[in-house]
Amino acid sequence: MGTGATSKAAVEERTRHWLEANYLSALANLPDPSSGVFDRDGQLRCLTQYGFQEVQRKLKIFRWLDRFQFDSFIDVGSGFDYYPALVRERYGVETFFSDFAHSMNLPYGGGEFGKRDHSITLNIARLPFADDAFDVVLASEVLEHLVRPLEALAELMRVARKYVVITSLEALSATRWQRLLSHLRVDPTQPHVERNFFLLHELAAVFGPDWHHENLLHDPTLPASAFAPESVREAAYRDLRTTEAFAAALGGAVTVTDHRQGSMGILVAKPKAGAPVGAPRDDDHALARWLVERTGANQATLYRLVEQIRAGTAPFAEPDRPIAAELLARVRCPDCLGVLAAAGSGAHCAACGTIFAGEYGVPILYPLRFPDPRPEAEWLARLAQGDPHRRRIIRRAARRLRRNEPSPGPLRRLVQHLDRTFAS
C-alpha cells in the first residue's frame, strides 16, 4: 500500500487536478481552424496520424456496437470525447457522459453536445449506479491509467446489464519481458501515468471464456508505419485529402483484428450471459465515412463554441440547475447504493444521509463516507465467477499491480534515467 504522495488517493487527486487543468487549457487554446485536421466548416483540411487513429478507434468500437441490441449507454471516463452523442444519433438510445474530472462533464454550449442533464461526475472504482444500470458500458483509453484497475473492471461489469466495451492502446503487453519493462518505467508520482499492463491470459481470466478481443492497431495496414520517420508519416497522412480517401484508409486499417506481430493495443467486447451478439456487418466504408463526417462536424461545433466562450456569448446551463429527475433516477449513492433525492442543486441519500453537491445539473458523486473500493472479496468474486483458476490469476495480477504504488526504487530509477538519456 502506498503512503503519502504515492497513496492511491493522493495519485487519484493529483490526476483529477491534472485532468481538470489540461481540459480547461485545451478549451482556452484550441488550435485555429487553419491549422487543425478539420476546418471551420468541418471539412477535412490536413489529416495527422493522431487524427487518423482517433477515428480508427471509433470505427473499431462502433463495429461492435452495430452488433449489439441495447437501449441505454454510458461512457465511463468520457473525457474530451463524445461517444454518447454519436451513439444517441446512430441508435436513438438514451446515453450518458461521465468522468472523474468534473470540468469535463459540464454542459458547455448548453445542449449542443448532449451533456446537459446527461453527465455524472464519479470515481470509476465505486460507481454511483445500481447493478445492471446500463445496457452498454464503455471505457475507452481509461484502463491503463487507473490506480485501482481490477476494482474498476469489476464495477464496470456490475453496472452493465448486457455489454462492456473497453479499449486501451497501452495496457496489453505481448510478453512477460515487455510487461516487466513497462512496469519499470512507471513513475507513480506523475499524474495520469500509464501504469497497468496485462498479458492476454490475465485479461482472459478477468473477462471469462465468452469475451471477444481484437487489436486496436495493426501496423502493416496503417497508411504509414508508426515506426517510420516522422516526415514519412506526416506525408502519408497528409496525402489522404478527402473524406473518401480517409474512409477507405480506415477500412483497410481494420482488416486485421487478431494479435499477430505488428499489432498494438486491445479492444475487449464482453457480452454478459444471454446478451445477443449479431454477425459482423459488411459496411465498414459507410460506417467509416459517417464517423469522419461526424468528427468534422463536431470539430466545427467546438470551434464555434470556443469563439462564443471567448466573446462571452456561449450558452451555459445555470450553475444552480437542479439535477434532472430522469438523471436522478439513474444514479445511486456511491457509498451505500441507496436511492438519491434532489437537494437543491445536489442530491441526498435517504439511506445513509450523505449529501452530494452538484452544479450545472451535473451530480458530483465521489464516494465520501467510504472512499475505498468495495471489499476485495466482492470484486474478486464478481470477476472470477466461482472459477478457482481465474481467481488465482486475478489475485496474482492484483499483487503485481500493487508494486506500482511505492516510490521508484533503484532499478526503476535506473531504467527511467536510461529512457531520459536515450530520448535526449
Mean pLDDT of 243-260: 97
Contacts (Cβ under 8 Å, ≥6 apart) of 55: 246, 250, 288, 291, 292, 295
Distance between CA atoms of residues 19 and 21, nearest Å: 5
Q: What distance lies between CA 247 and its chain's CA centroid?
A: 23
Q: Would you state the pLDDT for residue 155?
A: 98
> Whole-angstrom Cα distance, residue 150 to residue 148?
6
Query: Which position has the higher pLDDT, 303 or 150?
Result: 150
Contact 129, 330 (CB under 8 A): yes
Which residues on adjacent β-strands are paired with residue 72? Answer: 94
State residue 113's pLDDT score.
Answer: 81
State whether residue 268 is helix, strand or coil: strand
C-alpha cell recorded at residue 384: 472470477
Q: Please give the Cα distance from 208 to 384 (Å, whole number).
A: 8
- Would you give the distance in Å from CA 141 to the centre of its chain? 4
Q: Is the pLDDT of residue 282 over 80?
A: yes
Strand bridging mode 340-343 / 266-271:
unpaired
Residues 272-292, mean pLDDT to the nearest whole number:
96
C-alpha dist (Å) from residue 308 to 36, 65, 116, 376: 18, 34, 18, 48
Which residues, including other chains, have CB under 8 Å from residue 80's CB and lie 6 or more apart?
23, 26, 104
Q: Does the structure show a pLDDT above 90 at 423?
A: no
pLDDT range class, residue 297, cuts 50, 70, 90: very high
The answer to whether residues 40 and 33 touch, using CB atoms and an 8 Å cutoff, is: yes
For residues 317 and 153, what is the distance between their CA atoms, to the nearest angstrom? 33
Question: What pLDDT is recorded for position 37?
Answer: 93
Reduced to 3 states, what is the DSSP secondary structure of residue 136?
strand
- 339 neighbors 351 (Cβ within 8 angstroms): yes
- pLDDT bin (cut points 50, 70, 90) of residue 142 is very high
pLDDT, one tens digit per residue, over 334-356 is 999 999 999 999 999 999 999 99
Are the beta carbons of 262 and 220 closer than 8 angstroms? Answer: yes
Quick one: the chain helix, strand, coil %, rounded to 5?
Answer: 45, 15, 40
Residue 2's pLDDT is what? 47
pLDDT digits (tens, 9 = 90+) for 52-77: 999 999 999 999 999 999 999 999 99
Cell numbers given for 158? 456490475
DSSP state of 96: E
Question: How far is the C-alpha of 342 from the C-alpha of 36, rounded, in Å?
Answer: 42
Question: Could you give the dihedral angle defined by the CA atoms of residues 148, 151, 157 and 159, in that order, rounded to the nearest 10 degrees?
Answer: -90
Average of per-residue pLDDT across 177-201:
91
Residue 21 pLDDT class (50, 70, 90 cuts): confident
Please tell me the least confidently modeled range out of 361-365, 370-374, 381-385, 396-400.
370-374
pLDDT of 305 > 90? The answer is no
Q: What is the pLDDT of residue 375?
A: 93
pLDDT value for 3: 47
Segment 41-55 shows an average pLDDT of: 96
pLDDT beyond 60 at 201: yes
| Residue where the block lists cell 488517493 | 9
Mean per-residue pLDDT for 174-187?
Answer: 92
Mean pLDDT of 191-206: 95
Model confidence, pTM = 0.94
The alpha carbon of 189 is separated from its chain's Cα centroid by a whole number of angstroms, namely 21
**What's the confidence (pLDDT) of residue 1?**
42
Q: What percent of the chain lies above the pLDDT cut of 90?
A: 75
pLDDT for position 4: 47
Q: In the chain, what are the domains?
A: 4-317+381-413 (3.40.50.150)
Report the C-alpha gap between 184 and 19 in whole angstroms: 24
For the chain, what's the residue count? 424
- Gap between the Cα atoms of 206 and 140, Å rounded: 17
Sorted by sequence, the CB contacts under 8 Å of residue 36 that are 6+ apart come out as 45, 46, 299, 303
Q: What is the mean pLDDT of the chain?
A: 92
Report pLDDT for 71: 98
pLDDT at 270: 98
Residue 224 has pLDDT above 60, yes or no: yes
Pairing between β-strand 263-264 and β-strand 217-218 as defined by DSSP bridges: antiparallel
Mean pLDDT of 205-234: 97
Q: List the single range of 27-36, 90-99, 170-179, 265-274 with lowest mean pLDDT.
A: 27-36
Per-position DSSP letters for 357-384, written without gaps between them? -EETTEEEE--SS--SPSPHHHHHHHHH
DSSP code per residue over 393-409: HHHHHHHHHHTTSSPP-
Question: d(Cα 266, Cα 257) in Å, to the nearest integer?
Answer: 10
